[in-house]
């Protein structure tokens, strides 16, 4: 474990995540001596790091900063000294914990040095007090996986220190920090979701002594902010910075100093109290959680049933200027809705950007509907004071259809638009959006008929939230039974078993011939032996595979000599999402929530295209990114990696990541498919939910991402979905992902999986059970036992192949095709690693 910082305490190197379950993944980092060194450091320490990527990371982090309150205290004036309180100004949280942020980063700016760098006149005496204290009281990181600190203990603040600072500076900035991560939920404790007593004392002391206080929150999760109201006017500004990666502190400094006007918008609702969240009663159970709030996740619940429980609404965020938004045109044409809005910067001083958000209020018919659902959004460019820009928000009406899982509309297992007024609201957050355009459907439209899939198990009945009206017509919460599964999985599988390709033996066709169009993929696959087919269905057994770049997460594809001889190259996977996790230095980018908070997919695409180039230089073929599970609950440890409580923001941000990464020829791998919404007992707990909530909330983002960006790989999740582990889930992966959405890429497991026998086909266990679902590749490929992951591969595929009722040749060939499509999409280079 390294936690290094330079002698002048100007900035730190990150606390490195400790060994992961699989063994030691930690890295050591060389200290850097001065801020001035930073610009040259990228080139000096690792010639393959890209300063332009760092610049884009900073830009994205800046656009992700959300200004929640401002009475004019911000931006800070250049001349006045500013007193910065809180140890987090030095011990900055750049990312959350676990695989998603464990990057060997060459530097991390902290806020103190970033403010100085931005020309802010920081009160040096106070900074010296904090620097000295922080040097004496290094954060405690004991190195145990999953035991990382949620916060760093705050410096007890002597009143003389505060009053002396107040005599030198007019404005105070108080910096608070939090982190959570993989296997590390946020908790409802002081120091995690809530303030510690020391933090409260700091806020009390500072807001008493200073007329103007700015609060900066450096955190990956939403934390309780109800205390802000208690300070009234004594807190002038609140800034949610998220975790912006190595350049994140500079992004915050750019906003505080006024160099950039903030334009981030919340991608989650911030409620007054944790208990107000609709998931609160059904989150964190180690065995199973009933998603009783159903489709009423986040703002869908709050805006419909409990608007007064909201402190800061979804989509909200201030800038330094004001904007007028006028709808100048709205029309439907060929099933598409097109809304044009003119946005004008009505302020006098600051240039800025604004995001136009369109929400639909669907008719409350047979299906319950929230009062608002995000339908589309568009962000302006930088508008100078007085300047205007017309933005167009466009989407298909069909994309707003709802899923009838009970037959209440007369169309069970269909996506429908109910008859009545579909009212489009336009604004700059969910709350303030006003009606602008109505599409009236005279009758119900069936948009798409599918089949029941992955529905709740009849063995575990439960009820879900629905919307009813009280005597005055106001929306009230009621509950109804969740429809449970009626289809026979066994019959469905038997009906759809793939035909086999007649084996030919080795005809000398190489995969390069397929790439060149000289042979078909089927002709290539026909040559493979059963053993070779089974090898394509697992990775090279361990992390840090010798077939890949040092520090890789695992290698798949050409894992044997015979496959490589046929031109199947090894495919190296690396984490993601916030950087490339290898042994070499790599860039640490803004976390998922920060990226989504930009509401700027074009910028995310630009950033990730550069990131893709870094992958090429580092020897990564597949980035295990984006993380795109829904922020169902503010305590989920990996929320920092994920984007939003809303599936549209999630899907469009994820699509931007995938498009960027893949634009340079490497692959992205969205994860974790699906319904992976908590870290508590993540490999065992069962997410129990209605098919409607599954499809409309938890799968929707994946569906959009696939449709818009065609990721070459996809990772399943650890958890169960309605009683079946995702890595065995035929309905999720074969019926929906492949069948309905037409996905043809490689599906890989999350790292290792749980053993199980197929309940419908007892001859299939473990990897054979998995391949039947078309979860193609076990990663990293070894066996998981009670003692932990083992460095040998299991025999369940071959054992099952030999048995009556076992895995078929056609299924193995189908999986081989899925995997080889990924291999073919990558550059054909077989370098020294092969
Ligand atoms: C995580 C994945 C990650 C994988 C490889 C797992 O523990 O859940 O998100 O990609 O490890 O590091």
- Decide whether any atom of ligand 1 lies within 6 Å of the 575 Cβ: yes
Instruction: Give the model confidence (pLDDT) of 710-764 as tens digits.
Output: 999 999 999 999 999 999 999 999 999 999 999 999 999 999 999 999 999 999 9
Angle (deg, nearest 10), helices 647-662 and 601-618: 40
Number of residues written out for the chain: 834
CA of 727 to the centre of ligand 1 (A): 14
- Decide whether any atom of ligand 1 lies within 6 Å of the 99 Cβ: yes
**Percent of the chain scoring above 70 in pLDDT:** 93
- Decide whether any atom of ligand 1 lies within 6 Å of the 748 Cβ: no
The residues with which 445 forms a beta bridge, in sequence order, are 417
Confidence (pLDDT) at 385: 98
Where is 511: in which H helix or E strand? helix 511-515
Pocket test for ligand 1, best of 23, 99, 146 (most atoms within 8 A of CB): 99
The residues with which 713 forms a beta bridge, in sequence order, are 746
CA of 679 to the centre of ligand 1 (A): 12
Instruction: Give the model confidence (pLDDT) of 458-478 as tens digits.
Output: 999 999 999 999 999 999 999
Residue nearest to atom 12 of ligand 1 (CA): 99
Distance CA 651, CA 252 (A): 26
Phi, psi of 641 (to 5 degrees): -75, -25
Where is 784: in which H helix or E strand? strand 783-785
Q: With the CA atoms of 335, 336, 337 and 339 taken in that order, what torsion angle do they form, in degrees rounded to the nearest 10?
A: -150
Which are the contacts of 46, defined by CB distance < 8 A and separation ≥ 6?
106, 584, 585
- Decide whether any atom of ligand 1 lies within 6 Å of the 750 Cβ: yes
Indicate if the pLDDT at residue 14 is higher than 50: no
Where is 809: in which H helix or E strand? helix 809-825
Identify the residue whose tokens are 């992205």: 668
Pocket test for ligand 1, best of 19, 146, 182, 683 (most atoms within 8 A of CB): 182
- Decide whether any atom of ligand 1 lies within 6 Å of the 553 Cβ: yes
- Decide whether any atom of ligand 1 lies within 6 Å of the 354 Cβ: no
- Decide whether any atom of ligand 1 lies within 6 Å of the 703 Cβ: no
Pocket test for ligand 1, best of 17, 624, 713, 747 (most atoms within 8 A of CB): 624
- Decide whether any atom of ligand 1 lies within 6 Å of the 758 Cβ: no
Distance CA 553, CA 97 (A): 16
Q: What is the mean pLDDT of the chain?
A: 93
Using an 8 Å Cβ cutoff, are 409 and 366 in contact? Answer: yes
Q: Tell me which of 102, 404, 750, 776 is the catalytic residue.
A: 750
Indicate if the pLDDT at residue 4 is higher than 90: no
Distance CA 547, CA 698 (A): 35
Res. 36 pLDDT band, cuts 50 70 90: very low
Sequential DSSP letters for 817-834: HHHHHHHHHS-----TT-
Q: What is the DSSP letter of 550?
A: T
Question: How do beta strands 434-441 and 420-427 pair?
Answer: antiparallel
Q: Please state the rounded mean pLDDT for residues 614-640.
A: 97
E-assigned strands of 594-634? Answer: 622-624
CA of 526 to the centre of ligand 1 (A): 33
Question: How do beta strands 463-469 and 475-481 pair?
Answer: antiparallel
CA of 720 to the centre of ligand 1 (A): 16
Alpha helices in 169-243 (DSSP H): 197-209, 227-230
CA of 153 to the centre of ligand 1 (A): 29
Residue nearest to atom 11 of ligand 1 (CA): 751
Indicate if the pLDDT at residue 315 is higher than 90: yes
Q: What is the DSSP letter of 314?
A: T
Q: Of 322, 286, 422, 275, nearest to 362 (Cα)?
A: 422
CA of 750 to the centre of ligand 1 (A): 6
**Percent of the chain scoring above 90 in pLDDT:** 90
- Decide whether any atom of ligand 1 lies within 6 Å of the 578 Cβ: no
Atom of ligand 1 nearest to the CA of 575: 10
Using an 8 Å Cβ cutoff, are 354 and 383 in contact? Answer: yes
Phi, psi of 44 (to 5 degrees): -70, -45
CA of 672 to the centre of ligand 1 (A): 9
Q: With the CA atoms of 326, 258, 252 and 67 taken in that order, what torsion angle do they form, in degrees rounded to the nearest 10?
A: -40
Sequential DSSP letters for 690-740: -HHHIIIIITHHHHHHHHHH--SEEEB-SSEETTEEGGG-HIIIIIIIIII
Residue nearest to atom 6 of ligand 1 (CA): 751
CA of 533 to the centre of ligand 1 (A): 25
CA of 440 to the centre of ligand 1 (A): 46
Q: Of 433, 410, 278, nearest to 341 (Cα)?
A: 433
The residues with which 122 forms a beta bridge, in sequence order, are 82
* Burial class of residue 79 in the structure, from the number of CB atoms within 10 Å of its CB (0-12 exposed, 13-18 middle, 19+ buried): exposed
Which are the contacts of 474, defined by CB distance < 8 A and separation ≥ 6?
none
Please state the pTM of the whole predicted model: 0.95
Confidence (pLDDT) at 46: 61
The encoded tokens of residue 496 equal 């759809």
CA of 332 to the centre of ligand 1 (A): 43
Pocket test for ligand 1, best of 18, 544, 575 (most atoms within 8 A of CB): 575
Indicate if the pLDDT at residue 13 is higher than 50: no
Residue nearest to atom 2 of ligand 1 (CA): 750
- Decide whether any atom of ligand 1 lies within 6 Å of the 145 Cβ: no
Residue nearest to atom 8 of ligand 1 (CA): 750
- Decide whether any atom of ligand 1 lies within 6 Å of the 671 Cβ: yes
Alpha helices in 106-195 (DSSP H): 111-117, 124-136, 159-168
User: N- to C-terminal Cα distance for the chain?
Assistant: 32
Q: Please state the rounded mean pLDDT for residues 178-202.
A: 98
Atom of ligand 1 nearest to the CA of 20: 7
Sequential DSSP letters for 403-421: EESS-TTS-TTEEEE-SEE
Instruction: Give the model confidence (pLDDT) of 789-834 as tens digits.
Output: 899 998 899 999 989 999 999 999 999 999 999 999 997 754 444 4
Sequential DSSP letters for 47-90: TT--HHHHHHHHHHHHHH-EEEEESS-PSPPSSS-EEEESGGGT
Using an 8 Å Cβ cutoff, are 676 and 717 in contact? Answer: yes
Instruction: Give the model confidence (pLDDT) of 505-550 as tens digits.
Output: 999 999 999 999 999 999 999 999 999 999 999 999 999 999 999 9
Give the strands of the sheet with 434-441, arranged side by side. Answer: 373-379, 355-361, 420-427, 434-441
Using an 8 Å Cβ cutoff, are 428 and 434 in contact? Answer: no
**Considering only 300-314, 347-361, 489-503, 780-794, which range has the smallest mean pLDDT?**
780-794
Q: Please state the rounded mean pLDDT for residues 646-665.
A: 98
Distance CA 705, CA 700 (A): 9
- Decide whether any atom of ligand 1 lies within 6 Å of the 717 Cβ: no
CA of 194 to the centre of ligand 1 (A): 28
Residue nearest to atom 4 of ligand 1 (CA): 751
Residue nearest to atom 3 of ligand 1 (CA): 99
Q: How far lies 123's CA from each of 158, 169, 464, in Å? A: 16, 7, 55
Confidence (pLDDT) at 834: 40
E-assigned strands of 185-304? Answer: 212-218, 237-240, 270-271, 288-290
Using an 8 Å Cβ cutoff, are 379 and 354 in contact? Answer: yes
Q: Please state the rounded mean pLDDT for residues 764-777.
A: 97
Distance CA 676, CA 323 (A): 38
Confidence (pLDDT) at 116: 96
Sequential DSSP letters for 24-44: -----------GGGHHHHHHH
* Burial class of residue 507 in the structure, from the number of CB atoms within 10 Å of its CB (0-12 exposed, 13-18 middle, 19+ buried): exposed
- Decide whether any atom of ligand 1 lies within 6 Å of the 751 Cβ: yes
Atom of ligand 1 nearest to the CA of 581: 12
How many angstroms from the chain centroid is the CA of residue 649? 10
Pocket test for ligand 1, best of 98, 100, 545 (most atoms within 8 A of CB): 98
Distance CA 357, CA 712 (A): 30
How many angstroms from the chain centroid is the CA of residue 453? 25
- Decide whether any atom of ligand 1 lies within 6 Å of the 178 Cβ: no
Instruction: Give the model confidence (pLDDT) of 137-156 as tens digits.
Output: 998 777 788 999 999 999 99
Which are the contacts of 499, defined by CB distance < 8 A and separation ≥ 6?
810
Q: Please state the rounded mean pLDDT for residues 45-73.
A: 91
Distance CA 300, CA 649 (A): 14
Taking every pair of Cα atoms in the chain, the longest distance, rounded to a whole number of angstroms, is 86
Q: Give the domains, in start order, of the chain with CATH numbers.
A: 4-31+65-260 (3.40.50.1700), 290-481 (2.60.40.10), 489-825 (3.20.20.300)
Atom of ligand 1 nearest to the CA of 25: 12
Instruction: Give the model confidence (pLDDT) of 92-104 as tens digits.
Output: 999 999 999 899 9
Confidence (pLDDT) at 787: 86
Confidence (pLDDT) at 466: 98
Distance CA 301, CA 464 (A): 13
Res. 49 pLDDT band, cuts 50 70 90: confident
Query: Would you call 642 helix, strand, or coil by DSSP?
Result: coil
SS3 annotation, 12-24: ECCCCCCCECCEC
Which are the contacts of 248, defined by CB distance < 8 A and separation ≥ 6?
61, 92, 94, 109, 218, 241, 242, 590, 594
Does residue 123 carry a catalytic annotation? Answer: no
Confidence (pLDDT) at 5: 31
Indicate if the pLDDT at residue 27 is higher than 90: no
Atom of ligand 1 nearest to the CA of 624: 10
Q: How far lies 479's CA from each of 2, 324, 365, 466, 675, in Å? A: 51, 41, 16, 5, 22
- Decide whether any atom of ligand 1 lies within 6 Å of the 580 Cβ: no
Q: Please state the rounded mean pLDDT for residues 617-642.
A: 97
Pocket test for ligand 1, best of 545, 622, 638, 750 (most atoms within 8 A of CB): 750
- Decide whether any atom of ligand 1 lies within 6 Å of the 753 Cβ: no
Confidence (pLDDT) at 48: 66
CA of 99 to the centre of ligand 1 (A): 6
Q: How far lies 544's CA from each of 106, 541, 552, 574, in Å? A: 21, 9, 5, 10
Atom of ligand 1 nearest to the CA of 671: 9
Identify the residue whose tokens are 């259809």: 401
The residues with which 333 forms a beta bridge, in sequence order, are 336
Identify the residue whose tokens are 């334009």: 263
């Amino acid at each position: 474990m390294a936690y290094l910082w330079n002698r002048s305490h100007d900035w730190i190197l990150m606390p490195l995540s400790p060994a992961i379950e699989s063994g030691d993944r930690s890295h050591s980092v060389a200290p850097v001596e001065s801020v001035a060194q930073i610009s040259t450091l990228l080139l000096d320490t690792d010639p393959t790091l890209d300063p332009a990527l760092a610049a884009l990371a900073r830009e994205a982090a800046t656009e992700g900063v959300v200004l929640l309150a401002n009475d004019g205290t911000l931006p800070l004036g250049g001349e006045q000294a500013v007193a910065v309180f809180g140890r987090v100004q030095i011990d900055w949280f750049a990312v959350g914990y676990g695989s998603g942020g464990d990057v060997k980063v060459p530097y991390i700016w902290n806020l103190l040095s970033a403010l100085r760098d931005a020309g802010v006149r920081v009160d040096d005496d106070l900074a010296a007090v904090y620097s000295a204290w922080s040097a004496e009281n290094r954060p405690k990181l004991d190195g145990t996986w999953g035991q990382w600190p949620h916060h760093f203990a705050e410096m007890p603040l002597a009143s003389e220190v505060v009053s002396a600072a107040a005599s030198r500076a007019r404005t105070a900035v108080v910096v608070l920090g939090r982190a959570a991560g993989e296997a590390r939920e946020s908790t409802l404790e002081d120091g995690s979701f809530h303030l510690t007593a020391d933090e409260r004392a700091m806020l009390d002391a500072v807001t008493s002594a200073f007329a103007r206080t700015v609060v900066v929150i450096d955190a990956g999760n939403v934390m309780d902010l109800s205390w802000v109201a208690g300070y009234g006017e004594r807190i002038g500004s609140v800034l949610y910075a998220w975790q912006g990666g190595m350049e994140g502190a500079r992004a915050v400094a750019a906003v505080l100093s006024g160099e950039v006007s903030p334009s981030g918008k919340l991608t989650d609702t911030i409620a007054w109290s944790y208990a107000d969240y609709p998931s609160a009663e059904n989150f964190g159970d180690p065995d199973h959680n009933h998603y009783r709030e159903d489709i009423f996740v986040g703002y869908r619940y709050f805006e419909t049933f409990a608007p007064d429980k909201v402190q800061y609404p979804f989509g909200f965020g201030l800038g330094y200027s004001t904007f007028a938004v006028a709808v100048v045109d709205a029309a439907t044409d060929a099933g598409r809705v097109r809304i044009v809005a003119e946005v004008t910067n009505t302020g006098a001083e600051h240039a800025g950007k604004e995001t136009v958000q369109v929400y639909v209020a669907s008719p409350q018919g047979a299906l319950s509907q929230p009062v608002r659902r995000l339908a589309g959004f568009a962000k302006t460019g930088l508008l100078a004071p007085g300047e205007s820009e017309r933005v167009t928000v466009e989407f298909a009406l069909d994309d707003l259809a709802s899923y009838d899982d009970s037959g209440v509309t007369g169309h069970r297992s269909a996506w429908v638009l109910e008859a009545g007024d579909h009212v489009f609201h336009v604004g700059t957050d969910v709350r303030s959006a006003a009606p602008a355009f109505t599409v009236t459907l005279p009758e119900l439209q069936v948009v798409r008929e599918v089949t029941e899939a992955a529905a709740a198990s009849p063995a575990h009945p439960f009820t879900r939230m629905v919307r009813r009206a009280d005597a005055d017509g106001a929306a009230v919460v009621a509950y109804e039974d969740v429809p449970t599964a009626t289809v026979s999985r066994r019959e469905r599988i038997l009906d759809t078993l793939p035909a086999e390709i007649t084996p030919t033996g080795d005809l000398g066709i190489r995969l390069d011939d397929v790439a060149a169009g000289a042979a078909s993929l089927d002709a290539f696959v026909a040559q493979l032996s059963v053993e070779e087919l089974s090898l394509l269905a697992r990775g090279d057994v361990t992390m840090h595979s010798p077939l890949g770049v040092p520090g890789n997460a695992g290698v798949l594809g050409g894992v044997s000599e015979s496959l490589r001889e046929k031109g199947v190259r090894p495919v190296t996977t690396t984490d993601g999402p916030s950087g490339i996790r290898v042994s070499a230095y790599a860039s640490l980018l803004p976390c998922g929530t920060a990226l989504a908070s930009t509401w700027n997919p074009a910028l995310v695409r630009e950033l990730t295209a550069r990131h893709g180039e870094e992958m090429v230089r580092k020897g990564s073929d597949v980035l295990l990114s984006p993380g795109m599970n829904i922020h169902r609950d503010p305590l989920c440890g990996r929320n920092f990696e994920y984007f939003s409580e809303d599936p549209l923001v999630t899907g469009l941000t994820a699509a931007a990541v995938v498009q960027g990464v893949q634009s340079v020829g490497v692959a992205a791998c969205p994860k974790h498919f699906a319904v992976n919404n908590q870290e508590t007992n993540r490999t065992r707990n069962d997410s129990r939910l209605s098919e409607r909530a599954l499809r409309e909330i938890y799968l929707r983002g994946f569906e959009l991402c696939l449709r818009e960006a065609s990721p070459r790989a996809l990772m399943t999740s650890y958890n169960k979905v309605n009683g079946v582990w995702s890595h065995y889930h035929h309905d999720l992966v074969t019926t929906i992902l492949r069948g309905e959405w037409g996905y043809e890429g490689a599906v890989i497991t999350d790292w290792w999986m749980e053993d199980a026998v197929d309940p419908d086909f007892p001859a299939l266990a473990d990897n054979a059970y998995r391949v039947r679902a078309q979860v193609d590749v076990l990663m990293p490929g070894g066996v998981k036992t009670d003692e932990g992951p083992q460095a040998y591969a299991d025999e369940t595929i071959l054992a099952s192949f030999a048995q009556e009722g076992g895995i078929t040749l056609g299924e193995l060939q189908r999986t081989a095709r899925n995997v080889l499509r990924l291999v073919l999409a990558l550059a054909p280079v077989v370098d020294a690693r092969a």
